[in-house]
Amino acid sequence: MERTTGRLADGREIIWYDADGTGRVAAADQRDLPAAVTNSQLRRDPLTGEWIAIASHRQSRTYMPPANECPLCPSRDHLSEVPSTEYQVVAFENRFPSYSLAAEGGETVETGLEQTRPGHGRCEVVCFTSDHNSTFAALPPQQARLVVDTWADRTTALSAMPGIEHVFPFENRGKEIGVTLQHPHGQIYAYPFVPPRALQELTQAEDYRARTGRSLFGDVIEREIADGARVVASNDEWVAFVPYAARWPIEVHFYPRRQVPDLPALDDAARDGFVPIYLDVLRRFDRLYSEPTPYIAAWQQAPVRAHRDEAWLHLELYSIRRAEGKVKFLAGSESGQGAFVNDGLPEALADRLREVAS
C-alpha cells in the first residue's frame, strides 16, 4: 500500500491510498475555501455521565447534491473534496466535523453540574472508491482489502494524536439511515473519551474475566460456533453470526478467530480472510428484499490506552429494515429507556441469511 499526503484549500489533511507501484503525486486543491472554523463543544450529561457533542455548525453541511456535483467524486467536471482526476481510496478531514483538534468550543469547566470542554477530536471521511454508483458490496476483493488497510493505517495515525482515546471507523449506508451523500464512503471518529457502547462491552468483558477467569468474547465465539444455529458464514480466519440477543431486525457480528485488540493488529492472513466473508454477507443483505438494505457497519476495537487486554476486535453490522418497505423506528422503549424490542427471532434471521447465499 502506498500513502500520499496533501492539504486541501482550507488546510485540512487529505491522504490518498493506492496499491503498491502507483506512484501518485499529491494534487493541489484549486478551490477558494474559507478557513474552517469548528465551534464543537462537549457537554457532560450529569444524569448518565456521558459526553454529548454540540456541533451546531453541522447544520450547514452538504445535503444530497446531484451526482454531477458530488463532493466525494474526483475533481473532473467540477471541483470536489478530492483534488485529483481519479483515486483508489482516499481519506480526509471532514469539512463539517463533530470533533476537531482545532475546536473553538468555549472554556473548559470540569466541576459542577454543567461540565463543558471544547469538542477536541478528529473526524475523517473515507471514500471506498471513485465510482459514485458503486457500493462496498460491489468492490473487487483487492479494493476492499485496500479499504481494510486504510482503516488500520488511519487507526494508527489517529491513535497517536494528542488527546485521542478511542478510534471508531464506521459506514452509514442508505437514505433510511440518514446519509447526506450517496457516494460510497464511511467515516472515522477519533473521540477524546471512550464512547458508551465500547465502554459497556469492555466493562462486561472485564467483569466476566473477574468472575470466570475467561474471555467473554472468546466464549461467545466458541458458543456460537458450537451451536451453529446463528452462524451465517465462516472461514479459517473469521466467523460471522447473528448475536443471541440481537437488537436490530437484521444484525450480524464478525469476529476474527484469534484475539487482536484493533485493526492495526490484524496480520495479512486475517485481513485477507475478512474481505470475502464481509463482501459475501453484505451481498446477502441486499438479497433479503427488493431494494438494497440500509445498514450501519460499526467497528468495535480497543481504546487507545484503556481496556486493551480484554478487547477483541469485531465488526457489528446491522439494519433498521424489518420487512419489505418497512423500517424499525427507535420509538418509546428504545429511545426513552434504551430497552430494545426485536420483532424477529435471531435464529430465523440466520436461516434467512443462509438461504440467500449465492
Q: Residues annotated in the binding site for Zn(2+), as ranges?
A: 70, 73, 132, 183
In 174-287, the DSSP E strands lie at 185-191, 231-234, 238-241, 250-256
User: Do 72 and 81 form a contact (C-beta atoms < 8 A)?
Assistant: yes
CA distance 98 to 116: 15
Residue at 95: amino acid letter: R
* Annotated binding-site residue numbers: 70, 73, 132, 183
Q: Does residue 185 have an active-site annotation?
A: yes
Residue 3 in contact with residue 153, Cβ under 8 Å? yes
- Give backbone dihedrals phi and psi of 195, rounded to 5 degrees, phi first: -70, 160
Residue 36's contacts (CB-CB under 8 Å, 6 or more residues apart) are 10, 11, 12, 95, 100, 102
The active-site residue, picked from 185, 253, 307, 314, is 185
Instruction: Give the Cα separation of 105 and 94 in Å (integer).
Output: 17
Distance of CA 207 to the CA centre of its chain: 26
Active site residues: 185
